[in-house]
Chains A and B, each alone.
Chain A
């Protein structure tokens, strides 16, 4: 028997298919076994070698080629026997689309329920709740459209598969239908636009309540860290000038501005719950993005520009730990705009605490202004050491008081 005949022979082809299937499954079985019984034979190196994967791929290609040949043999033999064409591919694809629809819809359901339950907890800020509401509304509308259009798309593909007996329905246009499906999406989108617009306005165009002035916090980004500046007793974050940047004054704070002198540094962002916070965002070097997912807060930090975001945290960290059932839960903020090699690790912890806790915490924070900087800015340096301790202690308590006043304003 010539090789060619041997290859085209139906039985051999079928055998080859079986053998390849068996070989493949046994390879995969070995995979599984290898993973399960790791101590027996260390397959780690094998899995890392490229050749192993190339061989697997070639085996798969061979397998596909053999199936292809088998199909061809089958079709040719059908043709030789004068029977109708072997495989009705139109029906195959129509059925595959129907199958894809069913499995796909289940897959979407699975994703929504399984991955959908791994998402961020409910918003921990006032405006975040509005965003979440909008999100849910949009999700409902789009999911309905998604499911319906896909049922139609794959359903039509299944129902109207080719048949030689049928002729398609000549239906070039219908202006009424066109109008309907222009106007209906337009109306739905108008609703979404209006809601989105109002929410957007309520986030960015806030009228300041004189009795509840927001707490100013300045955040400065640089490759690849954040610096936080609290306003100190006066409640105002003082001026900065990038030209004043030195090793001792890394943020370039201008201490000639009296508002700067009591500004405090912090390693983490601590916020009193229920109190509006006005973030002042700046950047030293490149653009970063200040992103605080749990509070639905994001705004880029741009060098040469001050950007502001005002929001009100509504849940303390402790409350959130309870809600998420995760005692290690922490709020945080991170960088969301590509900024260089350390982009993937630029984070700071945020703690939302009760007002009382906040007051004790803020009282412990140090000011940016130190003796070196005092000299640099020709400010009177605090006198002798002993006195300065006492002095700073009283100053601290004064600071706490004024701070409280600022908070109570």
Chain B
């Protein structure tokens, strides 16, 4: 293990001279410490989430009261809400930027960026990331992407507004809508920076996990969080570049007169010169990333909830290997299902059939994961910490939203459900709410690790119950709008007789959304207050087995003051019969837990098995154990 020895020396350097060299800038801004970068990602992610949530409240107000004026909107939005009423173009900009920010900036960077950075080195036992510098760059690219995306609100023609999928020709032809001008250019630039950030992050995560695990930490002893981050990073590395390719072609089409996505277009009577391209090409390229992307969003959340559920049920996660294999299954399958977003685009129907098969297969590993969560809860000893509440909420959303995926994955049913509110309800539950809940579970669980202080549990309880109930109140009724054939991204429901009966539902949903948004105040207050004033965290607040809780509460560059601890066992030895405490950290060797060792702990190591047998003969009481 030469790497580790080398890093040990590195650490001594830091312990001796490192600290007083640190300036404000190198510690808090251009930090190369993975823990600080994680915090930067998290706080940026939270700010972006608040912005995106605010946007959603704006368009929900429009949907609920399409014929009323709200003077305060004009105060804030100026010409985009003249007379206190949001304009159709700006409404589309709102849904577009809401989607883009939530999917990419919050649930990809905010979730993966935060927890991969924080937990990978701490849970596998490494001093830092493989390349701390790349890690820093990754954050700053992300930050620039955020700034550029937000800057599009301050230009004349407004932000991109062709939907977060920015289908051409709508997004390419500037005449098609105001948002397809400068706003779209900024969107594309922002996405390129974002993808660069996420590639740098991903490469770092993969190389750190593969090369820098501490002694004894073989792949099958890694916590499920790490498995999830690892596979997520692989997914990102393989799929994000395709988006960049698509984006670059789009930049060419927009600015240099090429025709990758354009052909036979007449705006009014103005015949465009482009010939030979196909708008469907963009959809293939976009969804080749876009579908893995939803798994990039949900897999870290699943990893976090696996860990949180196991710790707080005081039980090993049921079917650890099955959990890993199902993650691998999801990773592989997610590359061959993108066509289910395109069943009704006019793609060859034969392809539709194929993609339907692969799509419904992916439900199998997802089902396995759900059942394993349930089995983990069964006969557990459940502590309802705020993190645990959110993890249970995640499982509930994952089930509710996952099941509606079976409708949409079926090409025949998708004909009538495509682009309706049913889709909106589906993905907001399964990847929106579920992933946000995974992220919140992670924040509540690892807040002590990040800031050395505890968050207020009672505010956490309040936050959970309000959010959980409100999320269902918002999204459950939306399914029925979709089943009635109400398309998404409609500025108002006033023009169609059959939609008018849903206006009252829209008012209800908007109030529920406002309730959900206000509930986040409890979180934001709790979060920022606890950073400074929270109770100081004990060493291992949740009595957890994983390695990060052996590192000192007080942060230091290099994570562990002395040697990195060695790992002897898997991370899920909770409530093991024969052991007095209900948890055994990964760093406890089997020789110290002779009374609780089980035959399969030794993985066929005959010598160890023999020692155990000898010990059991010498201590017959141990035979009575469970």
Contacts and interface: CB of A to CB of B under 8 A. Distances in A.
Interface of A: 48-50, 57, 60-61, 64, 68, 71, 89-90, 93-94, 96-97, 100, 104, 107-108, 111, 115-116, 118-120, 128, 130-131, 134-135, 138-139, 141-142, 145-146, 149-150, 152-154, 156-157, 160-163, 166-174, 177-178, 181-182, 185-186, 189, 192-193, 196-197, 199-201, 203-205, 222-223, 242-243, 245-247, 250, 252, 281, 284-287, 289, 291, 293-294, 296-300, 302-305, 307, 328, 330, 332, 334-345, 347
Nearest to B362: A189
A211 to B, nearest CB: 25
B384 A89 contact: yes
Contact of B92 (A146, A149, A250, A341): A341
Given A142-B403, A197-B357, A341-B177, A287 B71 contact: no
Given A173-B318, A200-B349, A291-B487, A304 B458 contact: no
Given A168-B575, A178-B368, A223-B176, A173 B319 contact: yes
A225 to B, nearest CB: 11
B410 A300 contact: no
B261 to A, nearest CB: 10
A153 B395 contact: yes
Given A171-B315, A245-B271, A344 B490 contact: yes
B82 interface: no
Contact of B277 (A68, A118, A196, A304): A304
Nearest to B596: A170
A203 B418 contact: no
Given A96-B465, A296-B416, A303-B265, A168 B480 contact: no
B556 interface: no
A153 B396 CA distance: 8
Interface residues of B, number: 124
A115 B477 contact: yes
Nearest to A115: B480
A404 to B, nearest CB: 32
B626 A344 contact: no
B67 interface: no
B484 A119 contact: yes
A169 B495 CA distance: 59
Given A170-B574, A303-B265, A131 B279 contact: no
Nearest to A346: B495
A247 B266 CA distance: 12
B360 A193 contact: yes
B279 A287 contact: yes
A343 B356 CA distance: 29
Contacts of A186: 361, 364
Given A168-B313, A302-B279, A341 B265 contact: no
18 contacts: A57-B518, A100-B468, A108-B476, A118-B484, A118-B502, A131-B412, A135-B407, A168-B379, A170-B575, A172-B318, A173-B318, A192-B360, A285-B267, A286-B265, A336-B487, A338-B489, A343-B92, A344-B495
A223 B315 CA distance: 58
B367 interface: yes
A282 to B, nearest CB: 9
A200 B352 contact: yes
A134 B413 contact: yes
Contacts, number: 350
A250 B411 CA distance: 34
B420 interface: yes
Interface stretch (B10-18, B370-378, B559-567): B370-378
Given A156-B374, A298-B419, 6 more contacts: A142-B406, A157-B384, A193-B410, A197-B356, A246-B269, A303-B265
Contacts of B147: none
A141 B461 CA distance: 33
B485 A291 contact: yes
B516 to A, nearest CB: 14
B472 interface: yes
A172 B316 contact: yes
B51 interface: no
B316 A299 contact: no
A161 B382 contact: yes
Interface in B57-86: 69-72
A171 B318 contact: yes
A341 B72 CA distance: 23
A167 B484 CA distance: 50
A131 B382 contact: no
A343 B371 contact: no
A108 B476 CA distance: 8
Contacts of A107: 472, 476
Contacts of B368: 178, 181-182, 185
Contacts of A192: 360, 406, 410
Nearest to B578: A170
Nearest to B377: A156
Cβ-closest 6 pairs across A and B: A293-B485, A304-B263, A307-B346, A204-B349, A304-B264, A93-B384
Contacts of B322: 173, 178, 182
Contact of A303 (B169, B381, B480): B169
A250 B266 CA distance: 9
Contacts of A134: 410, 412-413
B316 A135 contact: no
B313 A344 contact: no
A196 B410 contact: yes
A48 B85 CA distance: 13
Contact of B419 (A189, A307, A337): A337
Nearest to B363: A189
B382 A200 contact: no
Contacts of A205: 349
Contact of B169 (A60, A245, A286): A286
A168 B463 CA distance: 28
B480 A111 contact: yes
Contacts of B403: 142, 145-146
Interface in B331-381: 344-346, 349, 352-353, 356-357, 360-361, 363-364, 367-368, 370-375, 377-381
